[in-house]
Amino acid sequence: MNTRFFVILFLLLISCLFCHAQNWDIDILKEVNLHRDKALDYGFLFVTNWAAPLAYSVPVFLFLFSFINKNRSLRQKSIYVITATLIAALSTTIIKHIVNRKRPYVVYPFIQKIATGGSPSFPSGHTSDAFTMAASLSIAFPKWYVIVPSYAWAIAVGYSRMDLGVHYPSDVLASIILATFWAIITHYWFTKKKPFKQPGDASMDQQDR
């Protein structure tokens, strides 16, 4: 698999978004931000503030739990999840400073900024964290009770960034694509170089029964 191909493809996607997205971008953001239910502001602030802590604490907890239960398979899966999340976070930060897109509330003063957002806007770091966690957990543990809550949380995080006025929809969309990309690429590397399951390990399927 040629990783460079996917990087170029993502950069082309960024170019397309900036060439064509500005009108629908701000129109959707206005609808979400200016017509939001303000009673939900504290709820979305909670969601957005816990995006990064949850994304990193879940794999760390799984890693510690794997030591307690002496489960090498679970240990490797937890390492995979945290690795994918860290790589996605690093690439998100790099792209942010390369693109250097201003936050929507800076360009459009009528957008109501409810949460913090100091770094460049594109892509969304919070959304990247949440969706990388959701995608990698879903790949490592393909059970409905992992997939459904993981993606429900990630969707809530992505929506919260628009609801709170700190990101364009295209910022969120790009982060979802980036997060999914790194979850898949990292999984490919782990399964090729460091298989999740090894002989003699207790599998997650056995633990689920």
- If one counts the domains in the chain, the total is 1
Q: Is residue 77 part of a domain?
A: yes
Global pTM value: 0.82
141 in Cβ contact with 59 (< 8 Å): no
Contact 136/183 with Cβ under 8 angstroms? yes
Is 170 part of any domain?
Answer: yes
The residue segments making up the domain with residue 142 are 39-197
pLDDT in tens, 77-134: 999 999 999 999 999 999 999 999 999 999 999 999 998 777 899 999 999 999 999 9
Q: Taking a C-beta distance cutoff of 8 angstroms, is the pair 130, 167 a contact?
A: no
Does residue 166 form part of some domain?
A: yes
Residue 203 within a domain: no
Among 55, 53, 73, 54, smallest CA distance to 63 is for: 73
**Position 48 in a domain:** yes
Q: In this predicted structure, what is the pLDDT of residue 133?
A: 96
Residue 1 has pLDDT above 80, yes or no: no
pLDDT at position 195, please? 46
Helix ranges (DSSP H) in 100-203: 104-107, 125-140, 144-163, 169-193
Mean predicted confidence (pLDDT) in 170-189: 93
Cβ-contact 176, 158 below 8 angstroms: yes
Residue 2 lies in a domain: no
Average pLDDT (33-41) is: 92
Q: Does residue 18 lie within any of the structural domains?
A: no
* Exposure on the CB side of residue 197, measured as CA atoms within 13 A: 9
